[in-house]
Amino acid sequence: MKKSVFKILNIVAFSLAIVTFTNCGSDEPSIIIEEPASEVIGKLNSGVMNGTLDEDYTLNSSQIYSLNGSFIVESGATLIIPAGTRIQAMNGGTSVYIAVLKGGMIQVEGTAANPVNMSSASGDAGDWGGLTICGDATTTAGVNAEAEVGGFIYGGSNDADSSGTINYLVIKGTGAQINADSQYNGISFYGVGSGTTVRNIAVINGSDDGVEFFGGTVSATNLFLENNEDDSVDWTEGWNGTVTNTFITHTISGFSTVFEGDKDNGNPKFNNVTAVSNVGGTALQFKKQSGATITGLSLTGYDVSIDMKDGGDLANVRINGVAANPLLSYTNTQKVAASDFAWVNSNTAIPTSVLQGAITEKVVLDAAVKYSLNSSYIVQAGGELVIPAGTKIEARDGGTGVYIAVLKGGKIDIQGTESNPVVISSASATSGDWGGLTICGAATTTAGVNAEAEVGGFIYGGTNVTDNSGSITYLVIKGTGAQINADSQYNGISLYAVGSGTTIENISIINGADDGIEFFGGTVSVTNVYLENNEDDAVDWTEGWNGTVTNTYISHSIAGFSTAFEGDKDNGNPKFINLTAISTVGGTGLQFKKNSGATISNIWLEGYDKNIDMKDGGSLQNVIIDNTAASTTADYKTGTKVAVAAWTWKSAGL
């Protein structure tokens, strides 16, 4: 009986005409007939999103909408979402989502100042289902395929199909689990066509993919993807659109990949991709015969750069014009930065940037970012590492596996200043924590052309005495000298056949388990060197190095070190101008092996048990001190001490 009453009331309400009389210059009254809104429209008017929308509707930007179930935009209907609109999804898992069906449209009209927000209350991963859009473009799944979510129908033959516009949209807390094999994504594009505009979207805290493309031809610009726990960008079914400017960050371990391509290769294009992880993981994974063309790629902190999961051809993946190489880390200059997405109100801080892998082009670090040196970081031939003033790099206490190397043909540009030096140190600055800095050049060395270094097997040496490996100014290094084997250790700075075109000024090396600085041949010179408690030799050279060091201050306060100076092998007669070395624990001052020697002026040696040691009986004439052959009995407190009180930068820390 009750149902009948409601039915009658509904019929009466539907038939009711509201008559309004107006006088607009006519004697006849105007009659306006208004039909009551459908149930879904009524809910929308009260701020609730639930049900199926079969007509056009514009949300109210001043209203916070509660999405408490499925909200489906039918074919022929358009949902318009103005700038600043907020949609709060109920924590309802797979039953809470927004879907735009094939033939339907969505218009997200956010701005940088007022983006549209769709999120659960907490923004936690898996709270709700996300946004799904179905179009009429081609997909290898065929025409009128059935989506894995909702059973929605998608796919056709209209590659220029339009499902509307999305601009400045932030989505949080998506990825609800459907079954063991399927989950919702932040945004799922099923057969969406190129007539659809997708710009400025952020997907944060998704328990599955950030964005996934199931076939289609849609492109996207400016994607910000943070802590999506499966793949940040996923595609399959021959999607062949273009994504321009993508920033991806991972701070939660256990995610799947940055990119996952699957099945047929539609060769989608990615221009300018920056991905940063401080929890390792895999970057780009391609299944079956999938591939992509990528330019402007920068990966930082991933354990694996390229994974051809099913043994697909690496030629299917083109990175900067060449086939992908799993041996490269692609740690290149970041083309996209988090700061480019100021409109994203992310609750998760951008992670510490991890430095590891190989540099093949110019990479410029940012002094505002705290960097972690996680393993080896190698500047290859043609690459350049630029480190601005004030940059701090914390080296993991990882022994020989952690170091920076600049290979022959590569360059480093450390731009520290007196007030803002660059600091590279382990957290505790304990000797032996990490490997240090190694630079290889093409200058002459008695080891010959293309000799092999004792560290890393790096190749060095050539015929170009003016070779330029870059510039280092105001650099503080601490905690180096990790042990390689019984005979070899890393030094604070190792200079292998580095040429005179290289600039090295104002460097401080503290707490090294081996040498502070060592020259293996080459012609490079150095100005202003502070060396404190390096446990083997403060300055070491061999292989005929013949540069000049001006203003050297050496301090020893830990017993058992080797020497202040150690020269070895052929005598290239390097020059030292203004040398001060002071020990409070005895030890040997200057030691020369084989026929090594040097020319030294303005010397001050203090506190050593032995000032001069010709280890292998070499001639004292090889060592000229203040214009006179060295003496094993001289005091050598004859010069003026190098004044380091003004070198306030020398002990800077992390």
> What digits encode the pLDDT tens for the residues 91-114?
988 899 999 999 999 999 999 999
Task: Return d(Cα 109, Cα 79) in angstroms, integer.
Answer: 11
The C-alpha angle 177, 183, 186, rounded to 5 degrees, equals 110
Q: What is the pLDDT of residue 6?
A: 27
> What digits encode the pLDDT tens for the residues 495-512?
999 999 999 999 999 999
> What digits encode the pLDDT tens for the residues 276-308?
887 889 999 999 999 999 999 998 888 899 999
> Using CB atoms within 10 A of its CB, is residue 180 exposed (0-12), middle (13-18) or buried (19+)?
exposed
Q: How many residues does the chain have?
A: 654
The count of other CB atoms within 10 Å of the CB of residue 653 is 11
Q: What is the pLDDT of residue 485?
A: 76
* In the predicted structure, residue 327 carries a pLDDT above the cut 70: yes
Relative to beta strand 292-300, strand 57-58 is: unpaired
Tokens 């660059």 correspond to what residue?
Answer: 422
> Using CB atoms within 10 A of its CB, is residue 454 exposed (0-12), middle (13-18) or buried (19+)?
middle
Q: What is the pLDDT of residue 42?
A: 93
How far, in whole angstroms, is CA 322 from its chain's centroid? 21
Q: What is the pLDDT of residue 18?
A: 33
Residues 631-647 have a mean pLDDT of: 95
- Helix, strand, coil percent content, the chain, rounded in steps of 5: 5, 45, 50
Q: What is the pLDDT of residue 580?
A: 98
Q: What is the pLDDT of residue 367?
A: 87
Return the H-helix or E-strand segment holding 359. strand 353-359
Relative to beta strand 598-606, strand 623-625 is: parallel
* In the predicted structure, residue 228 carries a pLDDT above the cut 60: yes
More confident residue, 227 or 483: 227
Q: Domain limits of the chain?
A: 50-323, 354-651
User: Residue 327 contacts by C-beta under 8 Å, 6 or more apart in sequence?
Assistant: 358
> Using CB atoms within 10 A of its CB, is residue 7 exposed (0-12), middle (13-18) or buried (19+)?
exposed
Q: What is the mean pLDDT of the chain?
A: 91
Residue 486: pLDDT band with limits 50, 70, 90: low
More confident residue, 440 or 342: 440
Please report, as a single letter, which amino acid is at residue 602.
N
Residues 574-590 have a mean pLDDT of: 98
Q: In angstroms, how far is the first alpha carbon of the chain from the final one?
A: 79
Residue 448: pLDDT band with limits 50, 70, 90: very high
> What digits encode the pLDDT tens for the residues 458-480?
999 999 999 999 999 999 999 99
Task: Return d(Cα 314, Cα 328) in angstroms, integer.
Answer: 13
The DSSP code sequence of 132-186 is EEE-SS--TT-TTEE-TTTT-EE--S-TT---EEEEEEEEES---B-SSS-B--S
Q: What is the pLDDT of residue 352?
A: 54
Q: What is the pLDDT of residue 23?
A: 33
Q: What is the pLDDT of residue 33?
A: 33
Q: What is the pLDDT of residue 346?
A: 67
Alpha-carbon torsion, ordered 339, 341, 342, 348, to 10 deg: -80
Q: What is the pLDDT of residue 398?
A: 87
The count of other CB atoms within 10 Å of the CB of residue 608 is 21
Residues 637-641 have a mean pLDDT of: 93
Q: Does domain 354-651 have CATH number 1.10.10?
A: no
Tokens 């004439």 correspond to what residue?
Answer: 621
